[in-house]
Amino acid sequence: MPFLPALPRPLAGLVPVLALLGLVGTASAAEIPFERYELANGLQVVLVQDHSLPQVVVDTWYRVGSGNEQVGRSGFAHLFEHLMFMGTHRLPGAGIDNLMEANGGWNNAWTMEDATNYYDVGPPALLPTLLWIEADRMQQLGQAMTKDKLDLQRDVVKNERRQSYEDEPYAIGELEVPLLMYPKGHPYDHTVIGTHEDLTAASVEDVKQFFATWYVPNNASLVVAGDFDPAQVKRLIEQYFGTIEKKPLPLLPVPAVVDRAQKTRVTLTDDVDYPQINLYFHTPSSFQPGDAEVQLLGSLLADGESSRLYKRLVIGGLAQDVSAYQMPTMHGSLFVISATAADGVNVAAMETAIAAELLDLEKNPPSGPEMERVHNQFDYGFLDTLQSLQNRAVQLNQYWAYTGSPDYLAKDLARFQDATPEAIRDAAARWLRPELAGVVVIEPRPEDPPADPKASPAGGAK
C-alpha cells in the first residue's frame, strides 16, 4: 500500500464551508468560502478571499517530513527546510528574505513528522512576488545547492537544537520519546530535530536527492489567502507553477500500528529544581476515529483550573503545573500528560494520582457541565484560531494533507460536536490505560560537591 493516500480529483468551483458554531445551544454560523482546483502537474490550489485587511498569505505544504528520512539522516527534513531559504540561481543568496522584507513581507516555515510547511505573509502588492518565489524554489532549489550553504544551515540547526532542547529546562526528555514509543524502523523512531551526528553526515547529494524526490508539485498544496483578485492569481499560478514537472512519488509501506511503549520508563537528570513526569500514550491518527475524543480528553483532564488533573494535582498540592494534550500525526498519534512536582513532592506521588484519575474515568465519564465546558472551550478556541489569515491557510492545507480534501471544516467541527461522554470514557479506557504508557522522568541533577569546601559559591542559574 502507498505510504501516502491517493489524492482525490479536485472539486471545481466555489465551495462554501459552513462552520456551525455555538456547539452547545448557540446557533451562530461562520463561513470560510474557498475555491479549489488542481494544476495539470498535480499541484493542489486553494484560494481564500478575505478583503477585510490589506494582506495576503501564501502557504505551501509539502507532504514530507522527518518520517521520510533515511537511516542515519535524522533531522534532515528540517535541515532541508532551512536550506529552502538559501537561494536559487534566479534569486541567489538571501534573496528570498531580502525581496520579501524589502517590500513589507516576511516568512517562516516548520517541519513535523509528516509535513513541511512554508508560509509567506505580506501586503497584497507583494503577492505576485510571493508566488514567483515559491514557484522558483519548487522548480530549482536543488540545482543551486552547495556545501557552503549546507554547512551554514547545519550550524544554524545545531544551534536551534542547543537552544530548544539542550539548554531548555526539561526539554531533553523530548529527545528520548521516539525510541521510547516506536520500534526501530518506524517512520517516527527519531526526533524531527535529529542528532548532531546525523546532521553532520548530511551531504549536498542528500539535499539534491531529497529535493528531487519530494519537492514536486504533485506532493504539494498551495493556499493563497487574503486580499487579492482571484482571476489574476489564477493566471499567475498557472504561469509560474504550471511548467514545473510532475514526478512519480515513492511508494512507501504503511507502518504497522503501534499500541504500546517500547520501553516503560526513561529517567534523566537536568539542571532543574523540581522533578517532572511525562506519560506518553499511543492514540489514534490525526482525523481518524477516536482522535477527537482523545483531544477532548486533554481538555477534560488539564485545560483550566476546573479540569480533573488540575484539581487533583495542583489544587491537591502535588504539582505546580499539569498539561495533557494530543500530538496528532498520520501514522498514529501520541497523547502526553506532563506534570512538574510541587516543592518536596516526588514523582511516584504524581504518577499514582495521574493513574487514579485515568482509572476513575471509567466510573465517572464526563458530566453534563464538563461536556459543556470542553465543548465551549473547543468552540471558542476554534473560532479564535481562525481569525488569523495564516491559521486559516494552514488549516485548509492540513485538511488536504490528512483527509485528502480541504473541504473538511464542517466535518471537523462535527466530530467534536458529536463526541459523547461515553465515547470519551471509552477512548480513555482504550488508549490511556496506565500500563500502556511510556514514562519519561526528569529529576534534578545532583549538585557536584564543591572542589574546595571553603570556597564561596560563585552564583548560579538556580
Partner 1 sequence: MSATIWNSRFNCAVLLALAPLGAACAPKPVPVAPIAAPAPDPLATPPVIGAAKPFVPPVPLVATLSNSASLWVIPQPALPLVSVVVHVPGGSALDAVGHEGSAWLSDRLMTQGSGKLDATAFAETVERLGIQLDVSTDQDGSWLTASMKKDQLDAALGLISNMVLQPHWGTGDYKRERELAIGELTQGQQDPPTAAAQAAPRFWWGAKHRWGHPSEGTVKGLAAVTVKDVQAYHAKVWTASGASITVAGDITLSEAQTALEGTLGKPWVAKPAGVKVEAAQPRAVGAGQLADAPFRTVLIDSPDAAQTMFYLVFPGLPEGDAALPALRAGTIALGGSFTSRLNALLREKKGYTYGAKARAQPLPGRGVVVVSSRIRTDVTGEAMTDLLGELKSIQQGINVAELKKAQGAFLQDQVEAMESVYGVAATFANYQASGFGPGQLAADLAAMDAVTLDQVKAQMGAYDIRGALVVLVGDKAKIEDGLRKAGISTIEVVEAE
Q: Which of residues 67-106 bind partner 1 (CB under 8 A)?
A: 85, 90-91, 94, 97-99, 101-106
* Residue from the set 2, 8, 16, 22 that interacts with partner 1 by CB under 8 A: 22
Cell numbers given for 462: 538556580
* Contact set for partner 1, span 154-183 (CB under 8 A): 154-156, 159-160, 162-164, 166-169
Using alpha carbons only, how large is the chain's radius of gyration in Å?
24
What are residue 327's DSSP bridge partners?
334
* Residue from the set 207, 358, 389, 440 that interacts with partner 1 by CB under 8 A: 389
Assess 118 for contact with partner 1 (CB under 8 A): no
* Contact set for partner 1, span 288-307 (CB under 8 A): 303-307
358-383 core/surface letters (b: 16 or more CB in 10 A; e: else): beebeeebbeeebbebbbbbbbeebe
Binding mask 241-260 for partner 1 (x = CB under 8 A): -xx-----------------
Other CB atoms closer than 10 Å to residue 128's CB: what's the count?
Answer: 16
Assess 110 for contact with partner 1 (CB under 8 A): no
Residue 33: which of 397, 384, 396 has the closest Cα? Answer: 396
Selected range binding partner 1 among 5-13, 235-243, 279-287, 430-438, rule: CB under 8 A:
235-243
Answer for the pair 178, 188: CB distance below 8 angstroms, yes or no.
yes
Assess 364 for contact with partner 1 (CB under 8 A): no
What is the DSSP secondary structure assignment for residue 46, as one 8-state letter? Answer: E
Give whichever of 4 and 45 is closer to partner 1, judged by the CB atom: 45
Assess 9 for contact with partner 1 (CB under 8 A): no
Identity of the residue numbered 163:
Q
Min dist. Cβ of residue 69 to partner 1 (A)? 21
Length of the chain: 462
* Contact set for partner 1, span 25-44 (CB under 8 A): 26, 28, 30
* Contact set for partner 1, span 183-202 (CB under 8 A): none
* Residue from the set 44, 68, 111, 139 that interacts with partner 1 by CB under 8 A: 139
Give whichever of 133 and 350 is closer to partner 1, judged by the CB atom: 133
* Residue from the set 39, 342, 394, 437 that interacts with partner 1 by CB under 8 A: 342
> What is the distance between the alpha carbons of residues 117 and 79, in angstroms, rounded to a whole number?
13
Binding mask 310-329 for partner 1 (x = CB under 8 A): -x--xx-x--x---------
Answer for the pair 400, 44: CB distance below 8 angstroms, yes or no.
yes
Give whichever of 97 and 443 is closer to partner 1, judged by the CB atom: 97
> Which own/partner pairs from 245-251 qualify as long-range (CB within 8 Å, at least 24 positions apart)?
245/41, 245/216, 245/217, 246/40, 246/41, 246/42, 246/216, 246/217, 246/218, 247/212, 247/213, 247/216, 247/218, 249/4, 249/213, 249/214, 249/216, 249/218, 249/219, 250/3, 250/213, 251/2, 251/3
> What is the distance between the alpha carbons of residues 352 and 355, in angstroms, rounded to a whole number?
5
Min dist. Cβ of residue 227 to partner 1 (A)? 7
Min dist. Cβ of residue 440 to partner 1 (A)? 17
